Structure 1
Amino acid sequence: MTAAAASARALAEIRPSKRQLAWQEMEFYGFIHFGMNTMTDREWGEGHDDPAGFDPGDLDADQWVSALKSAGMTGVILTCKHHDGFGLWPSDATDYTVAASPWRGGRGDVVAEVADAARRHGLRFGIYLSPWDRTEASYGSGTAYDDFYVAQLTELLTRYGPVFSVWLDGANGEGPNGKRQLYDWERYYAVVRELQPDAVISVCGPDVRWCGNEAGDTRPDEWSVVPRSLQDAERIASRSQQADDGAFSRLVRSDERDLGSRAALAGHEDDLVWYPAEVNTSIRPGWFHHPAEDTEVRSADELFQIYLRAVGGNSSFLLNVPPARDGRLRDADVAALEGLGQLIEDFRARRIEATVTVSSGTPGDVATAWPGTARTPWQPNGTDPRPAVTLAFARPHLLEAVVLGEDITQGQRIEHVVVQGRRGGEWTTLAEANAVGHQRILTFPRTEADAVMVTVTEARETPVVARVAAIGAGS
């Protein structure tokens, strides 16, 4: 075996964990930023706001969750505590929680209401617990604060049922004592692993990687196999938001556009991890609700384009939708979510039935699996020089996209793929890409064709394909 072949095999042998596989299949889920900041019209509260100000008289978690579900989401992550330190559950570790507020007579628990609503509507539940706390006096003291944070983390992971994600923010500012805390990330991770072993630890964690911006932007090619150094939580923190302003939410950096090509990984073959990406952004300019932004809600069409790039770019999509001060989502947000769900359903409904042939091996059910994953993926013969799948239609169709996916239980193997369409007996190239991974949606100008052919021109190992679908043009 040549050195190049051995290097490629090393990349292909990195595999996801069971928790990462389950998370990747969720594809699209929601973020709910809600708390004291909602009441004070802030993004980053300074802490110690009077708990009497938290009284969302019309809070309706079922409205929140049903709106997310209408968009096609599969889960919801709640900001149980943001940087200001105000807890949305009655924590035993601090008095600065909903228990000190007039809401529900001091007996309310927003975390419980959202977790219960998620279960009722068939969505999975996740938690956001900011490591930065601008109220807690022990912040910046080292172990004493870590004890406090672990106590709150333990409450959230033991009181509210199964958790699919623990979302750890990288923000690290001063506490009320003017000090910064050196977070004991490994201790936090160990608590999650012990109490919720099926939960992924996201962003400042080892399971799910931040895409690098909060604008909904995606890389041209997103790789799941990357250098282990990208898991460095302190590195992520240094690149996260540093100030309370709206600029960061639309900032896109041009660096680090290639994290996982064979060239980018040269020299790292002995220290690689499976660390897939999550694309997170907000339906509004801010993460919390601000009345002044009620006319700036992203449209369903714009959200759908982000969805196609994220879910269709080997990433998951985390979309924030903030409730207002009264505890309800505004009509514009609800309408945008419903419209997005309709666009996603319409896109899926336009899959064209086809007769499938392959260059070698047996096709399995790759042509009928999407949306979903093939029970029997296609793996060409190891000697096949140009593995290809052809979908032939009963008649010519106007096409606008092709959906591809690898069986990532076998790693991420494809390094270049070409999609061609046949018209009048001649083949023309419609799209091409490098990374595929869990799912790649390749869009192109509307083209009439009676067949499409997907050819893998470069791979790290023999590819294992889980889905191939052709999508007809919409109205």
Structure 2
Amino acid sequence: MKEECLPKPNRGQLAWQDMEMGMFLHFGINTFHDQEWGEGTDSPSTFDPTDLDARQWVHMAKAGGFKYVVLTAKHHDGFCLWPTKTTDYSVKYSPWKDGKGDVVRECADACREEGIGFGIYLSPWDRHEPCYDNKDLYDDFYCDQLTELLTGYGPLVEIWFDGAGSEGREYDWARIMNLINKYQPNAMIFNMGAPTIRWVGNEDGLAPYPCWNTAQAARQSIFTDENTKWLQNTPRWVPAECDVPIRRGQWFWHPNAEHNLRSLDELMDIYYRSVGHGAGLLLNVSPDARGLIPDADAKRLIEFGIEIRRRFNDPIASTAGCGYKIDLHLKSSAYMDHAIIMEDIAYGERILKYKLEAKQGDDWILISEGSAIGHKKIDKFKKVETDHIRLIILEADADPIIRELSLYLVDK
């Protein structure tokens, strides 16, 4: 493939891929009814968090190393976490703050204070809204809601469109995309419409390997014929995002369910198989009925951030370069068991096959190998002692450009 023909990310996609990890916040009327999917019939009077603190949510996100937050502004039940003018099914008609509260505002402000990106989830499927069955009326209704969110809450890094419940339904995606392009042109679009980020294909937080960044590869790997109509409108470059709840099987908070909290080892395995496969990780953490992230979940987030930093903040050695062989000479022999390799994806995803070798005396031994590198590849291998590592590119679509090759000793 000629260099000029390679798919390449736009500026927004480059910035988004560098963030690597976001926190999903599922919070809403379901939180107060011990349920995942409400039917849109629960009274707004039941939404009444006693100690809601969005700053605590965002502080925990930052402690865990997350660079952006995505809040469920409206889930499938139709209840809105901002005082929308479109419906009486919102926080405006709840007892919380005497109907004068705005969860979206509080979360957006907290993100700006902490220097964290802010995104919104707005479910296209609405089980409460009476006009949902009238396509034209609901398209107007939905676009009005979206416009309120696009114009009222500052810069958005991501807009999350969930396809659940919308099978067979056609929304006015051209109109929706025009609104985003007008008001939030730098926001990434997840999953539907003309997405700039694709769903990885599961809710386990796991990207397959290889996980290529091109739309053509995405079609071949996870998308069905039913989805391809809107995928035809995607850019040629469309990276994957891996969504997963920190409590197994639970997106919203449920009482007495701490036993479902994932262990630190589970979270690290997810990290290796999402970020470590070149995808983004969107980890869901659910505030409880108080409006706070539960203590156990908050503790696990802090542990997760500390462990990632422990493993990968202090490389033994690093280099960068161009070409089919990259040598990394150490000042002295050292033990290592991990490598991080990154392409400069601003120029496209070029590498198709590689191997990593360590010098042992006069010989070279294979310590890892793979196909895709893309934004990032984390390789774990048997501990080896050496003073010379080389990365050899075996196949590529164009001259390889290595942004980073770093070595680590994790299991000391």
The partner residue of 1:448 within 360, 385, 392 is: 385
Q: Which residue pairs with 1:308 in the alignment?
A: 272
Q: Which residue pairs with 1:148 in the alignment?
A: 141
Q: Which residue pairs with 2:252 in the alignment?
A: 288
Q: Offset at 1:417?
A: 0.9
Q: Kindly indicate whether residue 369 of structure 2 is the aligned counterpart of residue 432 of structure 1.
A: yes
Q: Offset at 1:225?
A: 1.5
Change beyond 3 A, Cα 1:72–1:236: farther
Change beyond 3 A, Cα 1:301–1:236: farther
Q: Offset at 1:12?
A: 5.2
Q: Which residue pairs with 1:93 in the alignment?
A: 86
The partner residue of 2:188 within 175, 182, 200 is: 200
Q: Kindly indicate whether residue 296 of structure 2 is the aligned counterpart of residue 336 of structure 1.
A: no
The partner residue of 1:408 within 334, 342, 345 is: 345
**Aligned mates of 1:333, 1:112 — CA distance in 2:** 23
CA contact (8 A) 1:37 1:44 kept: yes
**Aligned mates of 1:237, 1:226 — CA distance in 2:** 10
CA contact (8 A) 1:401 1:444 kept: yes
CA contact (8 A) 1:127 1:166 kept: yes
The partner residue of 1:235 within 212, 226, 247 is: 226
Change beyond 3 A, Cα 1:209–1:410: same
Change beyond 3 A, Cα 1:225–1:10: farther
Matches within 5 A, 1:224-373: 224-227=213-216, 230=219, 235-236=226-227, 273-285=236-248, 286-353=250-317, 366=320
CA contact (8 A) 2:205 2:282 kept: no
CA contact (8 A) 2:55 2:110 kept: yes
Q: Which residue pairs with 1:216 in the alignment?
A: 205
Residue range with higher mean Cα deviation, 279-288 or 341-350: 341-350
User: Aligned partner of 2:350: which letter?
Assistant: R
Matches within 5 A, 1:114-129: 114-129=107-122
Q: Offset at 1:216?
A: 1.6
Change beyond 3 A, Cα 1:106–1:233: farther
Q: Offset at 1:134?
A: 0.3
Q: Which residue pairs with 1:72 in the alignment?
A: 65
Q: Which residue pairs with 2:152 in the alignment?
A: 159
CA contact (8 A) 1:228 1:272 kept: no
Q: Offset at 1:228?
A: 8.6
Matches within 5 A, 1:35-74: 35-74=28-67
User: Aligned partner of 1:276: which letter?
Assistant: P
Q: Offset at 1:396?
A: 2.2
SS at match of 1:397: strand
Q: Offset at 1:447?
A: 2.0
Q: Which residue pairs with 1:186 in the alignment?
A: 174
Q: Kindly indicate whether residue 299 of structure 2 is the aligned counterpart of residue 379 of structure 1.
A: no
Change beyond 3 A, Cα 1:277–1:213: same
User: Aligned partner of 2:208: which letter?
Assistant: R
**Aligned mates of 1:38, 1:236 — CA distance in 2:** 31
SS at match of 2:411: coil
TM-score by length of 1: 0.81
**Aligned mates of 1:51, 1:425 — CA distance in 2:** 73
User: Aligned partner of 2:271: which letter?
Assistant: Y
User: Aligned partner of 2:149: which letter?
Assistant: L
Provide the aligned C-alpha RMSD in A.
2.2
**Aligned mates of 1:163, 1:234 — CA distance in 2:** 31
Q: Offset at 1:182?
A: 2.3
**Aligned mates of 1:55, 1:165 — CA distance in 2:** 27
CA contact (8 A) 2:196 2:235 kept: no
**Aligned mates of 1:427, 1:470 — CA distance in 2:** 17
Q: Which residue pairs with 1:384 in the alignment?
A: none
5+ residue gaps, structure 1: 1-7, 175-179, 239-267, 357-365, 367-377, 381-386
**Aligned mates of 1:415, 1:181 — CA distance in 2:** 38
Matches within 5 A, 1:449-464: 449-464=386-401
CA contact (8 A) 1:407 1:466 kept: yes
User: Aligned partner of 1:473: which letter?
Assistant: V
Q: Kindly indicate whether residue 376 of structure 2 is the aligned counterpart of residue 417 of structure 1.
A: no
5+ residue gaps, structure 2: none
SS at match of 2:260: coil
Change beyond 3 A, Cα 1:228–1:145: farther
Q: Which residue pairs with 1:389 in the alignment?
A: 326
Q: Offset at 1:220?
A: 1.5
**Aligned mates of 1:297, 1:474 — CA distance in 2:** 25
SS at match of 1:222: coil
User: Number of residue pairs matched?
Assistant: 405
Change beyond 3 A, Cα 1:336–1:325: same
**Aligned mates of 2:128, 2:13 — CA distance in 1:** 34
**Aligned mates of 1:233, 1:69 — CA distance in 2:** 36
TM-score by length of 2: 0.93
CA contact (8 A) 1:350 1:473 kept: no
SS at match of 2:259: coil
Q: Offset at 1:426?
A: 2.2
User: Aligned partner of 1:183: which letter?
Assistant: Y
Residue range with higher mean Cα deviation, 130-139 or 303-312: 303-312
Q: Offset at 1:14?
A: 1.2
Q: Offset at 1:406?
A: 1.0
**Aligned mates of 1:234, 1:106 — CA distance in 2:** 45
**Aligned mates of 2:278, 2:265 — CA distance in 1:** 20
User: Aligned partner of 2:104: which letter?
Assistant: V
User: Aligned partner of 1:325: which letter?
Assistant: A
Change beyond 3 A, Cα 1:334–1:12: farther
Q: Offset at 1:451?
A: 1.9
